[in-house]
């Protein structure tokens, strides 16, 4: 599970996406000021042309792998292989269900996501499951306990500390002040993360859900790494302990 050396990282492709609903994040706060952009995908993007995504500015991709304890995204392995073949750094994410045990979910992810040298750390996607059959909203204490069980199991298996992806409402209810030693990937599509998640250090910012690319039909989520090209090469090459500053 050791990461590939930084010198093997692919050249950085500059931002070339369009956005169906562009946002003015304020002076100096635009994600375009950051060097390393990427995407996240699932079955809903259909057949992805990874070479076109790469050419338009996708340097990394997080790929939907699993939900709960028994669902595998049907396009996961195809996307996993093809993203790598196109030269993107790739990682996998799991959508957490509050109606299944954390151990079951960790085992299901581990069963389906290869432990591959050079892959990005796994991601736990924590949101309220309002669009699924699982409507349960456990207490903050239970949420944190379940997340810790899941993340510990993944860290032992992959040798990498998982990244926490979340959205504003779930963060407000459960994660303020929690997990200071874990990297965060924050959804903030209307304001800069510093305004939506004050004081929280972050590693990735999902800044748009309305990106447009020649590589997919429809819209795609756009993300950016919190750092310059040198920081990206250090982190993607194995320096996993970095947790970016809150600003």
Q: What is the pTM of this model?
A: 0.93
3-state secondary structure the chain: CCCCCHHHCCCCCCCCCEECCCCCCCCCCCHHHCCCEEEEECHHHCCCCHHHHHHHCCCEEEEEEEECCCEECCCHHHHHHHHHHCCCEEEEEEECCCCCCHHHHHHHHHHHCCCCCCCCCCEEEECCCCCCCCCCCCCHHHHHHHHHHHHHHHHHHHCCCCEEEECHHHHHHHHCCCCCCCCEEEECCCCCHHHHCCCCCCCEEEEEEEEECCCCCCCEEEEEECCCHHHHHHHHCCCCCCCCCCC
Mean pLDDT, rounded, for 18-22: 93
pLDDT at 208 over 50: yes
CATH 3.40.50.300 applies to domain 33-237: no
What average pLDDT does the structure give for the chain?
A: 92
On the question of pLDDT at 117 being above 80, the answer is yes
Per-residue pLDDT reduced to its tens digit, 149-182: 999 999 999 999 999 999 999 999 999 999 999 9
Specify whether 104 is catalytic: no
pLDDT (0 to 100) of residue 247:
53
- Please check the confidence at residue 49 and state whether its pLDDT lies above 70: yes
Mean pLDDT to the nearest integer, 119-139: 90
Q: How confident is the model at residue 8 (pLDDT cuts 50, 70, 90)?
A: very low
Catalytic residue (one of 127, 145, 155, 229): 127
């Amino acid at each position: 599970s050791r990461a590939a050396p930084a010198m093997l990282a692919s050249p950085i492709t500059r931002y070339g996406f369009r956005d169906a609903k562009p946002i003015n994040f304020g002076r100096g706060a635009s994600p375009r000021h950051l060097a390393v952009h990427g995407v996240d995908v699932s079955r809903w993007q259909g057949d992805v042309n990874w070479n076109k995504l790469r050419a338009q500015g996708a340097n990394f991709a997080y790929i939907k792998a699993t939900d709960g304890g028994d669902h595998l995204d049907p396009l996961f392995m195809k996307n996993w292989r093809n993203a790598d073949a196109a030269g993107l750094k790739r990682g996998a994410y799991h959508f957490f269900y509050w109606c299944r045990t954390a151990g079951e979910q960790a085992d299901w992810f581990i069963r389906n996501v290869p432990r591959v040298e050079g892959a990005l750390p796994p991601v736990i996607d924590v949101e309220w499951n309002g669009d699924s059959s699982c409507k349960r909203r456990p207490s903050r204490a239970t949420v944190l306990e379940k997340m810790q069980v899941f993340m510990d199991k993944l860290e032992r298996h992959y040798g990498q500390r998982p990244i926490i992806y979340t959205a504003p409402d779930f963060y407000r209810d459960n994660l303020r002040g929690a997990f200071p030693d874990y990297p965060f990937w924050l959804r903030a599509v209307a304001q800069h993360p510093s305004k939506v998640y004050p004081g929280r250090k972050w590693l990735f910012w999902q800044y748009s859900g309305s990106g447009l690319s020649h590589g997919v039909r429809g819209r795609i989520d756009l993300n950016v790494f919190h750092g310059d090209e040198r920081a990206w090469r250090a982190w993607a090459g194995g320096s996993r302990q970095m947790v970016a500053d809150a600003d």
